[in-house]
Structure 1
């Protein structure tokens, strides 16, 4: 009985092994071998050329008035009125602020009373002198008495002139309680409010004079001497980046700012349009041609490899990594000082996907052939994915 059972099990195992072998043969026959294609990666490249490159050094700043005055009262007192706000356009002679004039008006009245008293004394001394001159002509008084009357008159005249000057001074002081604008412009700041007691000369209002505007920027110390000699200065605003207009370096500070360690430069823009408002962000570019021809590369062509800046050089359809020396910048491009030569072809896109000795196809040389290569690569990838799927099914 045991022998019969063992014989049945062996027959079943033999049949299962045969079925598995047939299935494997069938699946092997259904899958097709994937054709291996040569890995040729499409890249973008540029042929190098040397030329006198226009170098741009650009700095950001803000638009400011050519002249900005900090106005204050000539006398101290309490502010009782403010007639302007920040941004108010003012005219010459327009009232800005008013002090309480009561004390100064009282002083003016006191000076006026003193002037009238001095005037009366002078008139009396003048009349006395006239009488004694008549008496002297008739020899009724001595010359000494007449000299005394002349001296009294001169003293009274001096007192009158002194009182007159004091009255004028107090009148001016009373007039100084009204702060008026001495130029046409716009109010850029208010430093005091109604009810505040201010001293004489303390700035309370800032007024920017209408007219020429300028841009204030900070220049690094290593570029001061070079930029000082450049006359081609271009200005554009953040609001209208595509519109530029000429500027002129008007002033360059001889002392660096203690906080930023940069030198303040003022760029005048005499032909600025009315839409350039005070406080706008502006960019100042100093443009100059290089003295010798230089090679210019886009930033995307550079590759950082082991601490060195390199580029991919295309030779005979293959690439190799070549280190280069950076000489500066020109806008968004890089100036190369060595490592490559004019006439060579450099990869400008896809630099991070290449390896030394890899074959490449430059896009743009033959678009139809390039598209065919890309299609073949896609078909090969799909075939490889299908083979992997079959292997998993097995």
Structure 2
């Protein structure tokens, strides 16, 4: 009898157990802690451009006459003083021109003496009324022409003398030779650059600006410069010069940045970074860990301050940074965004907002 009753008692006991469980209250799950942050000013509000420290004055030195380079007296990196000889041309041709001019001066002076003596004789004859005034005027005009010829030849001699001095290229300022573009034996033309001199004095940073954003930059705009040798220090500066035309190869605009401070430990050729505030960018950004995407559409989880529930917020982002991403559309400065674990969250989920130190965050409900 008990063997037949046992199969009937077991289902009955299970049914009573299920009924008892069904009558109990459901178990309440605690709100999951979620680290939240508010959007901060975007790091991309500041554009960064690599640059090179250059001298403010960089004259290109060239011979004022053409010829063959016979001597080169300095090399790249050499420190030079003003009027120091840098290179020389073969002086043979200019010396011959100088000798020819000197001979022409001597001939013109001898001719002037001759016509002057002739004029003096004719003046004596005119005083004695032995010749006519027309005859005297002819001799007087010959004397004036001889005197003018002497002035002309002397001027040509001075030019030849100067050209003889131009065969030596000298430094125009104290500084350092930054580049060399000619060698011994090379025939150069007048005005062809031989050396580029980095003059002593103020230092600047040369940068290249992209053509698609050139309208955002102007002369006098305030910037900051960071030297690679001093990575934790930024020096105030401003754009001093902006090229009006783009480089034909790189399609960028050259700009020179001058330091506001007089004494900056910047040496020629040093690498530097120039920081320029981008006033056109949206000044909001969130950590990369706060961003996720679905079907190629990025979004973030925003906490509703009324009941601490999550809402998906679609956003439009800019170029990704190292640890943050600028948000161009979709967020407000007073929004609270989940900054970690966004892949396991769901719409409408209730959370307990905490900060990075695991302290509860009190949110003010929006009216």
Same fold? TM cut 0.5: yes
The reply on whether 1:137 has 2:130 as its aligned counterpart is no
Partner of 2:289: 300
| Cα distance change of structure 1 residues 194 and 358 upon mapping to structure 2, 3 Å threshold | farther
Question: Residue 317 of structure 2 corresponds to which residue in structure 1?
Answer: 326
Gaps of 5+ in 2: 1-28, 361-367
* CA deviations over 1:180-223 (Å, ceiling 9, x no partner): 12223221111111122222222111112333333333333443
> What is the TM-score of this pair, normalised by structure 1?
0.70
Does 2:346 match 1:346?
no
Distance 1:141 1:324, change over 3 A: closer
Question: Across the two proteins, how many residue pairs are aligned to each other?
Answer: 327
Larger Rg: 1
The answer to whether residue 354 in structure 2 is matched with residue 365 in structure 1 is no
Higher helix share: 1
Cα separation, partners in 2 of 1:282 and 1:126, compared to 1, 3 Å: same
Q: How does 1:43-62 map to 2 (within 5 A)?
A: 45-48=35-38, 55-62=45-52
Query: What's the CA shift for 1:259?
Result: 3.9
CA contact (8 A) 2:220 2:240 kept: no
CA contact (8 A) 2:70 2:89 kept: yes
Where 2:215 maps in the other structure, the secondary structure is helix
Name structure 1 gaps, 5 residues minimum: 1-37, 368-394
The partner residue of 2:59 within 65, 69, 73 is 69
* Per-residue CA distance 1:151-173 (angstroms, 9 max, x = gap): 22122212222221221121111
Deviation at 1:94? 1.3
Give the structure-2-normalised TM-score: 0.74
1:1-394 alignment runs, 5 A limit: 45-48=35-38, 55-228=45-218, 231-271=221-261, 273=263, 275-287=265-277, 295-313=284-302, 322-326=313-317, 333-340=324-331, 345-351=336-342, 354-356=344-346, 362=354, 364-365=357-358
Deviations 1:241-298 (A, max 9, x none): 2211122223334444444444333322253645312332222222367899x65422
RMSD: 3.7
8 Å CA contact retained: 1:314, 1:320: yes
